[in-house]
Amino acid sequence: MPPSPRITVVIPCRDDAEFLDACLAALAAQTRSADRVVVIDNGSTDASAAVARRYGADVVEEPLVGIWPAAARGYDEAMGSADVIARLDADSRPHPDWIEHLHDAFSSDSSLGVLTGGAEFYGASPLVNYLGEHWYVGGGHFWIRAFVGIPLVFGSNFAMRASVWERVRDRVERTNAHIHDDLDLTIRLRPSDGVRYDPDLRMPVSARPLTTQRGLWRRVWRVVPTFAVSWPEGAPWRRTTDAAPAPAADLWSPDEDWTPEFGR
């Protein structure tokens, strides 16, 4: 029986101390603890770093402002200590069994490279929360899968083997703060990476990006430049011929310029 996979949780954060406090409290109450929690302080001017340290998280600074620079720095930092890199955001509030769910999935299936799930929005009206879950995130899952052939990797709720990140880390647009990091990551993945969507892997996330028309359309519009920077790699005909090696079995708002991922 292989050893239990080491799981490191990565949380990009910029000026989100209050949300981060609730997120880290939820992580501290997990039925299976993370082996390590890394908070990427993306130029915060509030108490985000102090909050992270109070919960025992490792704080890594990333001066280049943007969700992709921050997330990529976190994945790099996790590579040396993790078999599985889990990702959520400062305004995520994971259910008590979130890490246990990830642990069991990756432990039982060596072909699983990336596991992603859906959202449960909180903090807005019931209608906005419903539309966010079923139209915004649900629609993203439907259309992205139809176009690229694999599930959308939802940035507020997913985990990947460190070996998958090692393969794509120099192919993604990791310094581009004006695209959706999770969609860009999805485009660089291939079916052979073992990407799967689990409807039971749910993540409560804040609905604040959906409460203004400007904020919502800004996030929808950024789908276009995200596909543009990956062209022609993201083209359907390239995805059927550019095969990736199968993952090896592991032994084991913020500032306007800080661009939230596709799922937020």
More confident residue, 261 or 42: 42
Q: What is the pLDDT of residue 226?
A: 77
Task: List domains and CATH numbers for the chain.
Answer: 7-241 (3.90.550.10)
Average pLDDT over residues 99-110: 97
Average pLDDT over residues 70-90: 96
- Residue 147 pLDDT level (bands cut at 50, 70, 90): confident
Q: Which range (45-49, 101-105, 230-234, 250-254) has the least confidence?
A: 250-254
pLDDT in tens, 158-216: 999 999 999 999 999 999 988 989 999 999 998 899 999 999 999 999 877 665 556 55
Average pLDDT over residues 107-129: 85
Separation between Cα atoms, residue 165 and residue 129, nearest integer Å: 31
Q: Model's pTM, two decimal places?
A: 0.84
Q: Is the pLDDT of residue 262 over 60?
A: no
